[in-house]
Structure 1
């Protein structure tokens, strides 16, 4: 009878240990999909602009970034900084994101309405753009390396 109790206790411990190992494995494998990671980075960059945290926004921009009309990373940094300094409030409203991930590269296309205001109830400035962006993984993080934007006709 004593052997049966010890055997059952050992079986119970092995089951618990197995369950913990399985859970640990699941936690390790539960990383988000590349698309979810990209969308999270996009959302963080959008929030950084709205909160006027230019440095946080620029963390998502590749060192060799190229934008419309040959805009480089330094010029983008200056543009975002100038817009955040010129407006008490910045608003970014994006339409649905069209995300296409292929390995460590991706594209994200969207429509965005940018607004700026002196802090009053209604924005004094508003402009919309159609945007196509190209992203790649750099050191495990998604970073934008190309952007093309046009005002809708």
Structure 2
């Protein structure tokens, strides 16, 4: 009897220790993490990695497609030695396998410690869950000033 109780106790401890690791990440948490990864890719000036966030059918302002967005990033990364992005609070609206994210973004670029150029934008993005990963399918931005 004593041996069974000890085995059951160890099984219970093992099961309970697995629960935090087994907890599934919510769709909103996964999307917010994906947005943070996108922010890091921009700050790392990595246009190749940026391409991986964009859906094949991405569309931005003025009909910008996926390749146009990557080229714009490449040009910006060439123009500015330092690129920064700071996101304001994000409002996430989930619609099953799609999401809309609204917020603000401050983009900076410059050669030294101080930004040579900075602009705040109001941003609305559309996201789609593809093969378990959130992809950016649309982005609209408007200068705040």
Given the two structures, how large is their TM-score scaled by the length of structure 1?
0.87
Shifted more, 121-130 versus 37-46: the winner is 121-130
1:3-82 equivalences under 5 Å are 7-24=1-18, 26-28=20-22, 30-82=23-75
Please tell me whether residue 148 in structure 1 is matched to residue 140 in structure 2. Answer: yes
- How far the C-alpha of 1:52 sits from its partner, in A, is 0.8
Q: Could you say which residue in structure 2 is the equivalent of 1:113?
A: 106
- How far the C-alpha of 1:24 sits from its partner, in A, is 3.4
After the TM superposition, which parts of structure 1 deviate over 4 Å for at least 4 consecutive aligned residues?
none
Given the two structures, how large is their TM-score scaled by the length of structure 2?
0.92
- How far the C-alpha of 1:115 sits from its partner, in A, is 1.0
Q: Does the 8 Å CA contact 1:129/1:152 hold for their aligned counterparts? A: yes
Aligned length: 145
Runs of at least 5 residues in structure 1 that lack an aligned partner in the other structure: 1-6
For the pair shown, which has the larger CA radius of gyration, 1 or 2? 1
Please tell me whether residue 131 in structure 1 is matched to residue 114 in structure 2. Answer: no
